[in-house]
């Protein structure tokens, strides 16, 4: 069932050429359970869109390829629809399916790379929406006992690019499906994000549908973010850091144009892309590793960069930002 010494180049969006000692693509829960009965120490691979591979993976690699989208009629009511999606479904394909069926809630999350099963782990988010806003529950296989456990929103402890599965639950569960709570009609659009408004205005749309919002998000992403099919990348490599108001006020004296988002408790979030750009990294290339020319938060592989080379660049960026601004920027991508 397992294949030996397989290159994972086509299974990670960074396009890093690293081998797995053994690899299996799993297409049913039954198959997954059988494997987990015999192997407790496994490496779960989903869309490979949030990992940087730096060394050969010695644990058996399980690629989740389970498919299926099911409307839960028994639960759905008035304006609400509940949709259960298997872990191996591609995220954006599901978003497109929802828009075609006029189910609202996911339009701002269009074109995010990756699969359904990993979307809750980092609570994916973009343009004013996060997964948690449309999440109902998920089912996960507990590796130690091989039983299926249901997690509601509260138990998932969603935060900014964070959840239970990145903390206490790390490495203990395999998410097998996610149920979303979406609208059937009277969709609640979230178009406050400046770039979405500009895009809609440019297209002279004043009463947007979910499809219009999705198209606007797609256009914005395509203009700023590299397509992993063309240049290897994992989206935002770093999280946007949060600093104290006092620190922010200090920085503002030197950098009056610093972009920011005010948070509760006298905290301020600063776009890491801006900090990195100020340090002169935007568009820079070191061999085949580089910083994207339109969005400094995104590191790219021009072809044959190794995971180590990308990681070295990331560390260099962290060090420079820390020295210049006294702000630690945390990596968002999982380093393997």
Instruction: Select the span of 12-20, 22-30, 62-70, 270-278 touching ligand EPU (CB under 6 A).
Output: 270-278
**Pairwise CA distance, residues 175 & 141, whole Å:** 6
**Number of residues in contact with ligand EPU under rule CB under 6 A:** 18
Catalytic residue among 22, 119, 163, 236: 236
Active-site residue, 332 included: yes
Kindly tell me which residue out of 111, 239, 243, 299 binds ligand EPU, with binding defined by CB under 6 A: 239
The answer to the question of residue 114 lying near ligand EPU (CB under 6 A) is no
The distance of Cα 306 from the centroid of its chain, to the nearest Å, equals 21
Residue 179 near ligand EPU by CB under 6 A: no
- Chosen residue from 15, 271, 290, 307 binding ligand EPU by CB under 6 A: 271
Q: Is 236 an annotated catalytic residue? A: yes
Scored b (16 or more CB within 10 A) or e, 232-256 reads bbbbbbbbbbbbeeeebeebeeeee
123 contributes a contact to ligand EPU by CB under 6 A? no
β-strand pairing of 3-7 with 19-26: antiparallel
Which stretch of DSSP H or E encloses residue 32? helix 29-38
Nearer to ligand EPU, 68 or 194 (CB): 194
Helices 91-100 & 210-224 angle (0-180, nearest 10): 150
- Which of 12, 110, 295, 318 is in the footprint of ligand EPU by CB under 6 A? 295
Q: Does 48 bind ligand EPU (CB under 6 A)?
A: no
The DSSP H or E segment spanning 82 is: strand 80-86
Backbone angles phi, psi at 301, to 5 degrees: -110, 110
Cβ 254 to ligand EPU shortest distance, Å = 16
Query: Which one, 117 or 273, has the nearer CB to ligand EPU?
Result: 273
* Residue 277 binds to ligand EPU (criterion: CB under 6 A): yes
Nearest by Cα to 258 from 275, 237, 279:
275
330 is catalytic: no
The answer for residues whose C-beta is within 8 angstroms of residue 111's C-beta and 6 or more apart is 92, 95, 217, 218, 221, 222
Give me the residues that bind ligand EPU (CB under 6 A), please. 126-127, 224-225, 235-236, 239-240, 259, 271, 273-274, 277, 282, 295-297, 332
Residues annotated as part of the active site:
161, 236, 332
């Amino acid at each position: 069932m397992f294949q030996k010494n397989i290159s994972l180049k086509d299974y990670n969006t960074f396009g890093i050429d690293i081998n797995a000692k053994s690899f299996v693509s799993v297409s049913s829960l039954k198959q997954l359970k059988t494997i987990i009965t015999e192997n407790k120490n496994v490496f779960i691979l989903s869309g490979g869109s949030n990992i940087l591979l730096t060394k050969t993976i010695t644990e058996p690699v399980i690629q989740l390829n389970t498919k299926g989208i099911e409307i839960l009629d028994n639960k759905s009511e008035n304006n609400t629809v509940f949709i259960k999606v298997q872990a191996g479904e591609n995220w954006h394909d599901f978003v497109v399916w929802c828009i075609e069926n006029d189910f609202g809630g996911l339009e701002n999350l269009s074109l995010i790379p990756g699969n359904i099963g990993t979307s809750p782990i980092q609570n994916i988010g973009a343009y004013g929406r996060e997964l948690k806003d449309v999440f109902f529950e998920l089912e996960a296989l507990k590796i130690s006992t091989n039983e299926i456990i249901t997690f509601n929103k509260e138990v998932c402890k969603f935060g900014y690019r964070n959840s239970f599965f990145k903390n206490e639950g790390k490495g203990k569960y395999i998410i097998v499906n996610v149920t979303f709570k979406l609208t059937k009609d009277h969709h609640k659009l979230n178009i406050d994000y400046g770039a979405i408004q500009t895009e809609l205005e440019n297209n002279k749309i004043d009463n947007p549908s979910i499809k219009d919002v999705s198209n606007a998000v797609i256009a914005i992403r395509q203009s700023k973010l590299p397509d992993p099919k063309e240049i290897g990348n994992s989206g935002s490599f770093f999280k946007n850091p949060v600093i104290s108001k006092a620190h922010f006020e200090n920085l503002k004296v030197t950098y009056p144009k610093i972009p920011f988002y005010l948070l509760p408790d006298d905290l301020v979030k600063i776009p890491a892309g801006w900090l990195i750009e100020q340090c002169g990294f935007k568009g820079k290339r070191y061999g085949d590793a580089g910083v994207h020319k339109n969005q400094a938060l995104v590191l790219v592989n021009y072809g044959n960069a190794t995971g180590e080379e990308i990681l070295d660049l990331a560390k260099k960026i962290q060090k420079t930002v820390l020295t210049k601004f006294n702000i630690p920027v945390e990596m968002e991508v999982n380093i393997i």
